[in-house]
């Protein structure tokens, strides 16, 4: 496989052999190792010295299901630390099938010049001036690029938010229908892409490069067993296809962990109007699509297609986190407005979570009433228009809080929390506070341990055992994000036999012995490298804290605050 290095300053591209040190990793390990190696930790994230790295997971391009995950890494302009944000769609599989292990974008184009990178095959790529795309939203960008370069291409692009280098700017990527509805949303990586003058990456989807496997037969057998387990599991085999990730709305709300009205409450009165069950029914009645395949190689189909009452397309992959951020978090129970806001964020190129939380902070500060979805839509439109208020929203909750001198800002390291209140599910307090990524639920999702088995295998509203489960999950997830398995296909590795299949595939692909010890060491190494980058960037343990609102304000209905102490937080990564 090859690296594709793209220098935006000189507008040159170069294919390179992959150094041995990177041969046996992909995804998050690859982006974090390379950022740590090649980007000085103190650089301006929007300057020429930062690098933006796109890396398919280690298993992307193989026969294993649900492995079309692309990790995007850089120094984040939102958090000021290292960032990995991953996205599904078709791009990771397509790049792997062209034999490309990573695209490394460096330098910076002369200001106001925007280019598209056209990746045609394992030897041919070029930068093309794309003046006609400046200011275009992502759906229009994708449409134009499909017209000019071919309808079958995978497109990864930014919208106006990325061009304006706003801190909540996402990188959007096309799904199997060619719509830019999949997002590497977190950390403002769209702003990094915008700062480089890169509007889009076009990737040919016809690559046929066989995966590099030392023992192809062993890999095939283990990947089949893995797929069988994912199909057999009720959640991944049935529930996600029928309801999507929105199925989480009701149980998280029941647990009092659905942050509502800027996390003033843990339960939302309007929950039934926006629940997974309701969304699935509405989509069905209107002739939209439940059980929609969003990503290459997927057998779960958690995506959906939301339509108007008249049956017209509104948005795709309307997910739990967005239903929260544009729903309960801003006090909005209007499902059509949530879907519209999801579409607008995808189209303008914005992280739905950071944007919803920014709106929530503005509403909380009295700028508008909670529940005013028309104001929310108008404000998100203002982001694209580049008004002063639009830029505040587009720069995320911290910027809004500062503007209104309002202290209730639910962020860690500048990034908003996700759809789980850390007071009601205290394992998430540990993950949000300590992950090198800023408040990021995917870095260590411990909601199941906090709620299942009738109230959790740990006490969700206490601190005992939370550090341990968050630590173990964060280490595990650093390895999962390296191989590039979709979070929702983790049912395949939930049992001892299941994780054994992953180890068998690691051995079969790398030719090295692989077991639990190696897996854990890989996860630990990724986190250590990320923590060291952040330390050099100036982070201290004081940054591994939640904002005061979570320690001081009891959350109804349980009226609890975060109980995990600073010392406990600081013991999370004691390896």
Partner 1 sequence: MQVHVKLYGTLPKLYLGDYPKTGLDVAAWQGLTVAELVQLVPLPHNQVAIVSINGFLAKAADAVPQNAQVKFFQPINGG
Q: SS3 for 362?
A: helix
The CB-side HSE value for 461 (13 A sphere, CA atoms) comes to 14
Nearer to ligand SF4, 305 or 543 (CB): 305
Q: Which of 64, 79, 62 has the alpha carbon at shortest distance from 1?
A: 62
Residues ≥6 apart with Cβ < 8 Å to 382:
389, 390, 393
Residue 451 partner contact from partner 1, ligand SF4, none using kind-dependent CB cut-offs of 5 to 8 Å? partner 1
Report whether 160 contacts 347 (CB < 8 A).
no
The CA-atom distances, in angstroms, between 2 and each of 20, 95, 369, 535 are: 12, 10, 53, 31
The string over 398-411, giving b where at least 16 C-beta atoms fall within 10 Å of a residue's C-beta and e elsewhere, is: bbbbebbebebbbb
| 383 touches partner 1 (CB under 8 A) | no
Measured CA angle at 39 (ends 433, 4), to 5 deg: 115
Binding flags for ligand SF4, 77-96, as an x/- string (CB under 6 A): -----------x--------
Which position among 19, 40, 455, 515 is part of the footprint of partner 1 (CB under 8 A)? Answer: 455
Contacts of 88 (CB under 8 A, 6+ apart): 68, 69, 70, 173, 175, 182, 294, 295, 298, 486
Interface mask (CB under 8 A) for partner 1, residues 221-250, using x and -?
Answer: -------------xxx-xx--xx-x-xx-x
Is 490 a binding residue for partner 1 by CB under 8 A? The answer is yes
Q: Which of 306, 488, 519, 573 binds partner 1 (CB under 8 A)?
A: 488
Helix spans in 316-372 (H): 320-325, 335-348, 352-364
Strands 198-203 and 313-316: unpaired
The rounded distance, in Å, linking the Cα atoms of 533 and 22 is 18
C-alpha 491/C-alpha 487 separation (Å) is 9
Contact residue for ligand SF4 among 92, 300, 400, 412 (CB under 6 A): 300
185 binds ligand SF4 (CB under 6 A): no
Smallest CA-to-CA distance from 433 within 298, 328, 573, 297 is with 573
Among residues 70, 295, 341, 477, the one that binds partner 1 under rule CB under 8 A: 477
Near ligand SF4 in 425-484, by CB under 6 A: none
Burial class (CB in 10 A: 0-12, 13-18, 19+), 120: middle
Contact code string over 35-74 relative to ligand SF4, x by CB under 6 A: -------------------------------x--------
Using rule CB under 8 A, residue 482 touches partner 1: no
486 binds ligand SF4 (CB under 6 A): yes
Q: Is 161 in the site for partner 1 (CB under 8 A)?
A: no
Q: How far is the CB of 335 from partner 1 (least distance, A)?
A: 17
Q: Does residue 557 touch partner 1 according to CB under 8 A? A: yes
Write out the binding residues for partner 1, residues 435-454 only, by CB under 8 A: 441-442, 445, 447-448, 451-454
251 binds, among partner 1, ligand SF4, none (CB under 5 to 8 A by kind): partner 1
* 3-state DSSP assignment of residue 234: helix
Choose, by CB under 8 A, the member of 32, 90, 267, 395 that binds partner 1: 267
- Cβ 246 to ligand SF4, closest distance in Å? 12
Q: Helices marked H in 201-275 — which ranges?
A: 216-232, 234, 240-243, 249-254
Residues in contact with ligand SF4, counted by CB under 6 A, come to a total of: 12
Partner touching 441 among partner 1, ligand SF4, none, CB below 5 to 8 Å by kind: partner 1
- Chain residues binding ligand SF4 by CB under 6 A are 66, 88, 293-295, 298, 300-303, 486, 488
- Chain residues binding partner 1 by CB under 8 A are 234-236, 238-239, 242-243, 245, 247-248, 250-251, 254-256, 267, 276-277, 320, 441-442, 445, 447-448, 451-455, 460, 477, 487-488, 490-491, 557-558
């Amino acid at each position: 496989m090859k690296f594709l290095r793209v220098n935006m300053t000189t507008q040159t591209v170069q294919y390179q052999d992959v150094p041995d040190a990177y041969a046996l990793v992909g995804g998050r390990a690859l982006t974090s190792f390379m950022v740590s190696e090649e980007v000085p930790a103190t650089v301006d994230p929007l300057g020429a010295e930062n690098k933006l790295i796109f890396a398919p997971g280690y298993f992307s391009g193989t026969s294993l299901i649900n492995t079309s995950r692309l990790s995007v890494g850089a120094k984040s302009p939102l958090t000021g630390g290292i960032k990995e944000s991953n996205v599904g769609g078709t791009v990771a599989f397509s790049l792997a099938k062209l034999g490309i292990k990573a695209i490394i974008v460096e330098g910076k184009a002369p200001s106001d010049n925007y280019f598209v990178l056209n990746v045609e095959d394992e030897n041919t790529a070029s930068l093309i001036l794309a003046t006609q795309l400046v200011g275009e939203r992502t759906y229009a960008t994708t449409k134009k690029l499909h017209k000019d370069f071919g309808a079958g291409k995978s497109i990864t692009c930014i919208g106006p938010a990325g061009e304006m280098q706003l801190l909540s700017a996402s990188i959007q990527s096309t799904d199997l229908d060619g719509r830019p509805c999949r997002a590497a949303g977190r950390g403002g990586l769209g702003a990094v892409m915008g700062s480089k003058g890169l509007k889009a990456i076009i990737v040919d989807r016809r690559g046929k490069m066989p995966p590099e496997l030392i023992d192809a037969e062993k890999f095939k057998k283990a990947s089949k067993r893995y797929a069988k387990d994912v199909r057999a599991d009720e959640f991944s085999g049935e529930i996600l296809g029928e309801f999507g990730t929105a199925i989480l709305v009701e149980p998280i709300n029941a647990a009092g962990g659905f942050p509502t009205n800027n996390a003033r409450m843990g339960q939302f009165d309007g929950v039934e109007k926006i629940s997974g069950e309701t969304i699935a029914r509405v989509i069905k009645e209107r002739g939209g699509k439940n059980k929609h395949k969003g990503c290459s190689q997927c057998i779960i189909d958690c995506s959906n297609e939301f339509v108007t009452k008249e049956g017209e397309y509104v948005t795709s992959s309307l997910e739990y986190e967005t239903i929260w951020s544009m729903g309960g978090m801003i006090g909005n129970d209007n499902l059509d407005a949530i879907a519209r806001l999801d579409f607008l964020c995808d189209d303008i190129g914005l992280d739905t979570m950071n944007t919803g939380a920014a709106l929530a902070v503005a509403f909380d500060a009295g700028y508008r009433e909670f529940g005013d979805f028309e104001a929310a839509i108008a404000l998100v439109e203002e982001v694209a228009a580049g008004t002063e208020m639009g830029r505040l929203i587009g720069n995320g909750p911290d910027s809004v809080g500062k503007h209104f001198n309002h202290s209730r800002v639910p962020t860690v390291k500048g990034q908003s929390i996700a759809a789980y209140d850390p007071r009601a599910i205290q394992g998430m307090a540990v993950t949000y506070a300590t992950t090198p990524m800023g408040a990021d639920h995917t870095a260590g999702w411990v909601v199941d341990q906090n709620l299942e088995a009738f109230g959790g295998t740990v006490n969700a509203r206490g601190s005992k055992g939370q550090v341990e489960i968050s630590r173990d999950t964060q280490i595990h997830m650093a390895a999962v994000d390296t191989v590039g398995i979709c979070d929702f296909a983790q049912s395949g590795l939930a049992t001892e036999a299941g994780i054994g299949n992953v180890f068998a595939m690691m051995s079969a692909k790398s030719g090295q012995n692989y077991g639990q010890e190696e897996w854990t060491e890989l996860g630990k190494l990724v986190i250590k490298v990320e923590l060291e980058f952040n330390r050099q960037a100036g982070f201290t343990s004081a940054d591994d804290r939640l904002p005061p609102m979570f320690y001081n304000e009891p959350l109804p209905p349980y009226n609890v605050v975060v109980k995990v102490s600073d010392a406990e937080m600081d013991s999370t990564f004691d390896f």
